Amino acid sequence: MPQNAASVRHVLVTRSEQGQRVDNFLLKTLKGVPRSHVYRLVRTGQVRVNGGRVRPHTRLSAGDEVRVPPWRGPQPGRTVAVPSQLRARLAQAVVYEDANWLVLNKPSGLAVHGGSGLNFGLIEAVRQWRSEAGSWELAHRLDRETSGCLLIAKERSALRAFHGALREGRVHKEYNALLIGAWRGGAQDVERALVKNRLRGGERMVERAPEGERGLAARSRFVPQRVWPQASLVTVCIATGRTHQIRVHAAGLGMPVAGDDKYGDRGANRGMRALGLKRLFLHARRLAFDLPPAVGALDVTAPLPSDLEAVLAALERRCG
């Protein structure tokens, strides 16, 4: 199947693709298409299943006919070679691997998918690094600047089981974040729905839903670990996995994530750069879940990268 097409196609869903969401099916079919564009195609009715309109989260059945509209991305058949240095870096980033899963300690600065001006992302790099990885899929996503545990499913059955656990709140995700300001008190729960694609200063943002407005439910628990006068290291456990959830919830507390150039404090970020922080201080530390016996349980951690450890050491030296 070509990566992109200049005309409408009608694609039959195979048995191995059964249960896949429409948006994920399109991301796989139209290689390199930005997720935002997929949502636009679905919202405007350009994507149809068996002749009817659908939503991005609609799940497909074997034999369904999907109308795939044209999309002009990279030239069909053109594969951008992933640098050998990146393939070697991914090999060193393996946290865990078995017959169902590959867990990587994703480097900061690497998008999980290509598209939006990027020739490739992490999943495309993995497929070049590992010859058997052509059908492997991301089980979830991390922001480009976020490092840490990223789960890749090798089998469709494992992916479906994981997504079911996500929907039922049976996946534990734990992050390390450095927040601007001195934390007061103990652990704090934040439960505030989020809305996406709000324009602010010409940029699309995720925001906390105004009171009375329905949004996507989002729950985060912030637990302080170390506190300095100008910053606080916290552990964040999220019961949901909304886009930019931790960053928006932290900003709503008046303590944005250090190095966040989208929702953060520019002045404070300048001060953090003086301590050596060159990116968003957000790291997916731990991922744990317990699935049916055929898939099994998993509990993995990724150590804090050395560049972030160096920032914490600089804070200790400054504050003594």
Q: What is the pLDDT of residues 118-156, one digit of tens each?
A: 567 888 889 889 989 888 999 999 999 999 999 999 998
Residue 4 pLDDT:
47
Considering the candidates 143, 189, 260, 299, report the single residue annotated as catalytic.
143
Residue 178: phi and psi, rounded to 5, are: -100, 120
User: Do residues 130 and 154 touch, judged by C-beta distance below 8 A?
Assistant: no
Residue 73 pLDDT:
53
Residue 47 pLDDT:
92
Residue 267 pLDDT:
92
Residue 121 pLDDT:
80
CA angle 163, 86, 93 (to 5 degrees): 55
Tokens of 228: 């300095």
pLDDT-derived band at 1, boundaries 50, 70, 90: very low
pLDDT-derived band at 27, boundaries 50, 70, 90: confident
User: Do residues 91 and 105 touch, judged by C-beta distance below 8 A?
Assistant: no
Question: Where does 128-281 show beta strands of DSSP type E?
Answer: 137-138, 147-153, 171-180, 188-191, 194-200, 203-208, 219-227, 231-238
Domains of the chain, first to last: 9-68 (3.10.290.10), 84-161 (3.30.2350.10), 172-319 (3.30.2350.10)
Q: Which of 161, 127, 149 is nearest to 32 (CA)?
A: 127
Q: What is the mean pLDDT of the segment spanning 35-64?
A: 88
Percent of all residues in the chain with a pLDDT value above 90, rounded to a whole number: 49
User: Do residues 108 and 279 touch, judged by C-beta distance below 8 A?
Assistant: yes
Residue 114 pLDDT:
64
CB crowding 64-77: b at 16 or more within 10 Å, else e:
bebbbbebebbeee
The C-alpha atoms of residue 34 and residue 181 are separated, in whole angstroms, by 35
Residue 201 pLDDT:
53
Range with top average pLDDT, 68-77, 80-89, 204-213: 80-89
Secondary structure percentages of the chain, helix, strand, coil, to 5: 25, 30, 45
Q: Which of 205, 183, 191 is nearest to 254 (CA)?
A: 183
Query: Which of 47-61, 118-132, 306-320 has the weakest average pLDDT?
Result: 118-132
213 has pLDDT over 80:
no
Average of per-residue pLDDT values in the chain: 86
Residue 185 pLDDT:
93
Q: Which of 143, 179, 177 is nearest to 285 (CA)?
A: 177
Q: What is the pLDDT of residues 214-228, one digit of tens each?
A: 788 889 999 999 999
The C-alpha atoms of residue 140 and residue 103 are separated, in whole angstroms, by 11
CA-to-CA dists, residue 92 to 109, 152, 187, 301, 308, angstroms: 16, 16, 34, 15, 18
Q: What is the mean pLDDT of the segment spanning 236-259?
A: 93
Query: In this predicted model, which residue has the larger pLDDT, 272 or 87?
Result: 272
Question: Where does 74-125 show beta strands of DSSP type E?
Answer: 94-97, 101-106
pLDDT-derived band at 30, boundaries 50, 70, 90: confident
H or E stretch including 285? strand 282-290
Residue 3 pLDDT:
45
Rounded to 10 degrees, the C-alpha dihedral 153/288/171/132 comes to: 0
pLDDT-derived band at 72, boundaries 50, 70, 90: low
143 is catalytic: yes
- Tokens 């944005």, residue located: 256
